[in-house]
Chains A and B, each alone.
Chain A
Amino acid sequence: MAESGGNGNGTPMLDELEKGPWPSFVTQIKETAKVKEQAQQLLQLLERSYHERMGHWKHGGIVGVLGYGGGVIGRYNDLQAEYPKIAHFHTLRVNHPSGWFYTSDALRTICDIWDRHGSGLTNMHGSTGDMILLGTTTDELEPTFKELTDNDFDLGGSGSDLRTPSGCVGPARCEWACYDTLNLVNDVTQHWQDELHRPAFPYKFKIKCAGCPNDCVASIARADMSIIGTWRDEIQIDQAEVQQAAKGGLDIQKDVCARCPTQCMEWDGKKLTIDDKNCVKCMHCINAMPKALAPGKDRGAMILLGAKAPIVQGALLSSVLVPFVKLEPPYTELKDLVERIWEFWGEHGKNRERVGELIQRVGLGNFLEAIEVEPVPQMIAHPRENPYVFYEEYYEEGDGDDDDQ
C-alpha cells in the first residue's frame, strides 16, 4: 500500500476525478486528508475499490449512543489490518434545522466538533435530510453526541423508526408555499423525538413536507407520508403581468393553455380566464408566469401515504389520504391521524413492511376503516375494474322478519 494519500501520488485513478469543471469529491477527501489521517486512509481504500471494482465496507453492527436506538450507522471495513485508521468508520446522522438554513457560526460549530471527534468528512446532506458526519470510531460516538447536544444539535433517525422529517424552503423564500413547511417539520420533529430516536416500528417511516405541488423535496416518491401544499379557491391573476409575459416571448396559448392538464384556461390575446373548478393545481401555469399568477388564498395541504423505493415488494408512489386539510399549529388533527396509522401498522405490519406495502396487502378500503378515515373518490384514479368484491355479511332466510318493513 502506498504511504501517501494526500499528495496524489498513490491514487492515480481517483486523481482523474479531480479534473473537469464539476467540484470534485476527491479534492474534498484530499483536502481533508491534510488534517485527518482517516481521510487519507479512506482515499487509499477507495482507490483500491476503483481498481477492484468493488466496495470494502461491511454491514454495520449495533453501535450508538446511550439510550438511543437510531442516529448512528455502524460501519467497518473488511481490510482492517491494512486500513486501521478507518477500521471503525461509523456515521452520525445529525438532525438538520428545517429548510437546511444555517448561520456561518452554526456550521463552524459542527466543523469544530467533527474536527475533534471524527474524520472531518461530511455529506451536506444525506438523502433523508440529515447532516451526515461520515466516519468515526465507537469510542468517539458518545463524546461527539455530548458536544452536539451541548450546542443544541441532536441526532436524526435510522433503522425502524421515524426518520428525520424534512421539507422544502417553504414560506422562508417561496411565494408558492401553501402552508408553513418549516414550522410543520420542526413541530413534528420535536413532537415525536421518542419515535425518532428509539426504533419501535415494523420498518422506517418518513415524512416530507412540500409547500406546493411542484414537490421540491420529492415527497410523493420518497416519503411514507407526503404532505403537499395546495389550495381550493381561485388562482390569483395579475392580467397586466400576463400581458407582459406574452410580450416577453411566452406563447400563452401554446406554452401555457395547451399544456394545462384539464384545459381549464383560455387566452384571447388580452385576458386570461381560468375555470378554477376544473383546475387540478398542477402548478404549470404558475411556474411559467411567476409574476402574473399565484396560488389562491385559501391554502392548505393534501396528505398522501405510502411511497417507497422498490425493496421489498416494489416501488410505490404515495396516494391520496386526505384531499385537503388546513395545517395550523399545533397540528392536532394531523398528529392524531399519524398515530392511528402507526397503531394499525405496528399491530399488523410485518417485519420490514413499509406502510405502503401494508396497504397493498390489506387493501386501502380496510386500511381506511382501521384508521377511521372515510373513503372519498379523490383517493382513487378510478373505481375497481374487477368484480371480486368482499362483503363481510350476508342475509339469511328469516333475517329481518321481525323488522317493520
Chain B
Amino acid sequence: MATATEPRRTDIGPPHYQKFLPPVIKKNYGKWKYHEILRPGVMVHVAHSGDKLFTVRAASPRILGITRIRTFADLADKYCGGYLRFTSRNNVEFLLTDEANIDPLIKDLAALGHSVGGIGNAISNIVHTQGWVHCHSAATDASGVVKSVMDDLHPYFVSRELPGKLRIALACCLNMCGAVHCSDIAILGIHRRPPRVQGGLNKLCEIPNVIASCPTAAIRPATVDGAPSVEIDENDCMFCANCFSVCPALPLADPLNDGVSIWVGGKVSNARTEPTFSKLAIPFLPNNPPRWPEVVDAVHNIVDVWAKHARRFERMGEFIARIGWPQFFTMTGIEFTKQHIDDYKYAGLTYKRSAQVRQ
C-alpha cells in the first residue's frame, strides 16, 4: 500500500485522445466529406482534402484476454501504423490508409476467429452485461447467450441483406447495465421468485433503506427470531431486485425460476421515427445452458419475420407499428398472454384506445 508520504498522482483523468489519433485523422479532423460502405464490415471515409481512411470492423466477444489484445496491437502495427479503436457496441476497428492492407488484415483476423462485418443494414455486436462471469445479481448468463445468438445470426453480421439496422442487446437482470430497453430486440434476464429473507439481515442492511427501496411497498418491518428484520408481501413483488441491490440478505436468484424475456421494437436513433422503448414479446424462456436453444430460436424467428416482410430501411419497431401488434403475434406465432398487458404506472396509456384494429 502507498503511504501518505509517497508521491501519488490522482485525478489526472484519461490520456488526451489526440495522442491516439492516426495522422490521417489529425490532418482531416472535422473535415470529412462523405463515407461509403465498400463491402460488409469495410467502409471508407473521404475527406475534403481527398484523403481516404479505411475502416475494418471486426467482431469481438467483449471479454478479451491480454494475449488477444496484444495480438490486436500487433495487427495494428502491421497494417495500420499502430492505430485502432473500439466501437460503442464493442467491436474492434482497424484504421487503415493503405487499401492494399485490407485483404491481408481480414485474412489475419479470420485466422484468429474474428469475422468482419456489422456495418450498414446488418446486425452489429450484441451489447451485453457480465452475467454469471462476474455479477452478483444476474438472472442469466450474458456471454453464453450472446455467443449462441450471434453464432446463429452470424450470416447477418457478415452481409448487408437485412431491411435495416438490427440492434440486439442483452441485460442479465432488470438493472440493465446494458440499457437494453431501446433495442430492436432485447434479451432480458428475469427473476420470478420473491426475495428470501436471510437471517442476520439487520447486521448487513439498514432496514429503513430496505423498506424504502421497494417500488410497490411490498416490504414491511418485522421481527424474525427475535431480531429486527423484514417480511415480504409476495403478492406485491414484481421481481425488480432493487431491495437486493441495497441489501445482500435478500437474494432472488433461483435456478428453478430464473430465465429470460424477449422485448422488441425499440430504437435510439431519431431516423424517421422517434426513439422508443422495446415492448414485451415473450414473457419467459428458460435458462438452458450452454446454448439457450429456446432463446436462439425465438430471436431467430422474430428476425426472420422482420427480414422477410419489412420494407427497406424499416427497423423492427417501425415494421411492427405498420403491421400492428395483433399481426406481429400472428406472424411470429408467439402466444399473447396476460403478462403482455402492462399493469404498472400509466398502464392505461398502453391499452388500445381506438376502433382502428385490423379484423
Contact = CB atoms under 8 A, between A and B. Distances in A.
Interface stretch (A121-129, A336-344, A361-369, A372-380): A121-129
Given A103-B20, A197-B10, A283-B269, A21 B84 contact: no
Nearest to B255: A53
A24 B150 CA distance: 10
A79 to B, nearest CB: 13
Contacts of B353: none
Contact of A99 (B85, B143, B242): B85
A284 interface: yes
A25 B68 CA distance: 11
A312 B287 CA distance: 25
A124 B63 CA distance: 7
A354 interface: no
A39 interface: yes
A162 B283 CA distance: 34
Contact of A66 (B8, B59, B70, B268): B8
A115 B65 CA distance: 10
A55 B131 contact: yes
Contacts of B70: 107-108, 111
B328 interface: no
Nearest to A59: B248
Contacts of A315: 176, 181, 277
A31 to B, nearest CB: 5
B113 A218 contact: no
A95 B76 contact: no
B61 A218 contact: no
B167 to A, nearest CB: 9
A177 B313 CA distance: 22
Contacts, number: 363
A21 B149 CA distance: 11
Contacts of A60: 136
Contacts of A63: none
A194 B12 CA distance: 10
Contact of B268 (A127, A215, A282, A290): A215
Contacts of A194: 11
Nearest to B155: A21
B112 to A, nearest CB: 8
Nearest to A214: B269
Contact of A32 (B61, B66, B135): B66
A267 interface: no
Interface stretch (A150-158, A270-278, A324-332, A389-397): A150-158
B182 interface: yes
B166 to A, nearest CB: 15
Given A22-B115, A104-B73, A309-B181, A290 B36 contact: yes
B155 to A, nearest CB: 9
Contacts of A16: 290-291
B85 A115 contact: no
Interface string A40-61: 0010001001101111111110
Interface string B32-62: 1111100000000100000001010001111
B352 interface: no
Nearest to A256: B313
Which of B73, B246, B287 has most A Cβ within 10 Å?
B73
B272 A125 contact: no
Contacts of B45: 173-175
B23 to A, nearest CB: 12
22 contacts: A13-B289, A19-B151, A20-B151, A21-B115, A55-B135, A66-B1, A68-B10, A100-B86, A107-B70, A111-B69, A125-B86, A149-B8, A153-B14, A173-B32, A174-B35, A190-B13, A215-B270, A283-B270, A294-B33, A309-B181, A311-B245, A317-B275
Interface of B: 1-2, 8-17, 19-21, 25, 29-30, 32-36, 45, 53, 55, 59-70, 72-74, 76-77, 82-88, 90, 92, 95, 112-115, 127, 129-136, 138, 141, 143-144, 147-148, 150-151, 154, 157, 171, 174-179, 181-182, 209, 212-213, 215, 240-242, 245-246, 248, 253-255, 258, 266, 268-273, 275-277, 287, 289-291, 312-313, 344-345
Given A52-B255, A173-B55, A213-B269, 18 more contacts: A21-B115, A22-B59, A25-B143, A49-B132, A54-B258, A55-B135, A66-B2, A97-B15, A103-B76, A111-B70, A149-B9, A171-B29, A215-B269, A282-B272, A288-B313, A291-B36, A294-B34, A311-B175
Q: Which 5 A-B pairs have the closest CB atoms?
A: A20-B151, A32-B65, A309-B176, A104-B73, A171-B30
